Copies of this chain bind each other. A is one copy, B any other.
């Protein structure tokens, strides 16, 4: 977590406290490799193993640990997850892959498990090979620190330019039994000098098969982490992993009605974490929710919503508290998706701005300005074609973003 940056004005007043979760132990230590006086290496150990599911960056220049995780995913249960902050081990060629393999070899010996049961994520500077020795040197201390109570400590150890710890917890019922879901995440831009990669880790004691966990994770990711944008830049290291420690018999079918409450709570938790990431967007002072309806299909609706959410002109208008709706129309138009110019309906907050492609006569600029002056901005557009809909979240684009990314060098 950066000391030089002020806490985001959109930060929650207090981080959610994560309770112990059956079968999960955590630890964090300070390696001193990059940061002063903070933990930067985090281990999650599953004594009895865990089913694992993952979603990774689509970047063609993915990091070495992502290559490793992708290769072993699907080969059985996970025994541990190791995450370091400060060095992304991205764009490090075969030397980066070698570092991961060395770390995996040592950790498998230390934990008495197979290398293929170990998952890794790295976040930090691009282009520097991760030195394996200072990491390996801390395995003993890490393993000694493992505890079911170390959730907040672990969540803090993975931060880089984040200005607050991001945690979320939910309980759900499956067949009358109480199920715990814990998660933590990091990310404030998509990438930065100190690398603000998106990392998200979710843990549950639900009894799910690996395929089912993957299906639920993929679906929830689409509606949460894949529905947010800070600056449209995608990291080489974005990683979301879900682990479940529930015992046999395991549920296999995603349509099993016993899962209804769980699926809802799982999605809710991921959305909670995703919103926290937007609220920690570099320089963010406003949280913006964009809803698009009436598109050809849900994919088209999401493209339009992202076109609005990524538009520098919409985001600077929000920063200035300027309800400049012409820029929103512009962003709808440039999305390249079908939109009926003369049926377009735009709503800011709860005020209709345009209907049938024209400003409504009773439109109050002052009322919209009041809405844009607040911390939470809602933009809704109906493009008048069909039934497709989507919702995405973003933040404003401010002098703070420029200061963080142009004015200092890591």
Taking Cβ atoms with an 8 Å cutoff, the residues of A that contact B are 57-62, 90-95, 125-127, 189-193, 195, 231-236, 310-313, 316-317, 319-320, 322, 324-327, 329-339, 341-342, 344, 354, 356-359, 396-399, 401-403, 405-409
Q: Secondary structure of the A side of the interface?
A: loop
**Smallest distance from the beta carbon of A294 to chain B beta carbons, Å?**
13
Q: What's the Cα separation between A280 and B59 when bound, in Å?
A: 32
**Smallest distance from the beta carbon of A71 to chain B beta carbons, Å?**
15
Q: What's the Cα separation between A364 and B250 when bound, in Å?
A: 56
What residue of chain B has the Cβ atom nearest to residue A238's Cβ?
B334
B61 touches A333 (CB 8 A): yes
**Smallest distance from the beta carbon of A371 to chain B beta carbons, Å?**
15
What residue of chain B has the Cβ atom nearest to residue A344's Cβ?
B61
B311 touches A354 (CB 8 A): no
Q: What's the Cα separation between A334 and B341 when bound, in Å?
A: 31
A93 touches B357 (CB 8 A): yes
A406 touches B316 (CB 8 A): yes
10 tightest Cβ-Cβ pairs between the two chains A and B = A126-B326, A61-B333, A59-B333, A320-B406, A316-B405, A234-B334, A316-B406, A319-B406, A93-B357, A93-B358
A330 touches B61 (CB 8 A): yes
B62 touches A333 (CB 8 A): yes
A-B contact pairs, 29 of them (CB 8 A): A59-B333, A60-B333, A60-B337, A60-B338, A60-B341, A61-B329, A61-B332, A61-B341, A90-B326, A91-B354, A93-B358, A94-B342, A126-B327, A127-B329, A190-B313, A193-B326, A195-B326, A231-B312, A232-B312, A233-B311, A233-B330, A236-B329, A236-B333, A313-B405, A317-B406, A322-B409, A396-B406, A398-B406, A399-B402
A322 touches B406 (CB 8 A): yes
A334 touches B409 (CB 8 A): no
Q: What's the Cα separation between A5 and B195 when bound, in Å?
A: 34
A333 touches B398 (CB 8 A): no
Q: What's the Cα separation between A126 and B317 when bound, in Å?
A: 14
B333 touches A234 (CB 8 A): yes
Q: Provided the pairs A330-B61, A405-B316 are in contact, do residues A310 and B232 lie with their beta carbons within 8 angstroms?
A: yes
Residues of B within 8 A of A342 (CB): 93-94
Each complex incorporates copies of this chain amounting to 2
A330 touches B234 (CB 8 A): yes
Q: What's the Cα separation between A133 and B347 when bound, in Å?
A: 32
Residues of B within 8 A of A193 (CB): 322, 324, 326
Q: A60-B336, A193-B324, A317-B405 are in contact. List 7 more A-B contacts (CB 8 A).
A: A60-B341, A94-B342, A195-B326, A234-B334, A316-B405, A320-B409, A397-B406
Residues of B within 8 A of A58 (CB): 334, 336
Residues of B within 8 A of A316 (CB): 401-402, 405-406
**Smallest distance from the beta carbon of A280 to chain B beta carbons, Å?**
16
**Smallest distance from the beta carbon of A120 to chain B beta carbons, Å?**
17
Q: Provided the pairs A191-B327, A320-B406 are in contact, do residues A60 and B332 lie with their beta carbons within 8 angstroms?
A: yes
A126 touches B330 (CB 8 A): yes
Residues of B within 8 A of A310 (CB): 232
Q: Which of B126, B127, B331 contacts A233 (CB 8 A)?
A: B331
Q: Provided the pairs A233-B334, A336-B58 are in contact, do residues A326 and B127 lie with their beta carbons within 8 angstroms?
A: yes
A339 touches B191 (CB 8 A): no
Q: Which of B57, B93, B320, B359 contacts A407 (CB 8 A)?
A: B320
**Smallest distance from the beta carbon of A101 to chain B beta carbons, Å?**
16
Q: What's the Cα separation between A406 and B317 when bound, in Å?
A: 5
Residues of B within 8 A of A405 (CB): 312-313, 316-317, 320
**Smallest distance from the beta carbon of A335 to chain B beta carbons, Å?**
8
B91 touches A326 (CB 8 A): yes
Residues of B within 8 A of A358 (CB): 91-93, 95
Q: Which of B91, B312, B396 contacts A357 (CB 8 A)?
A: B91
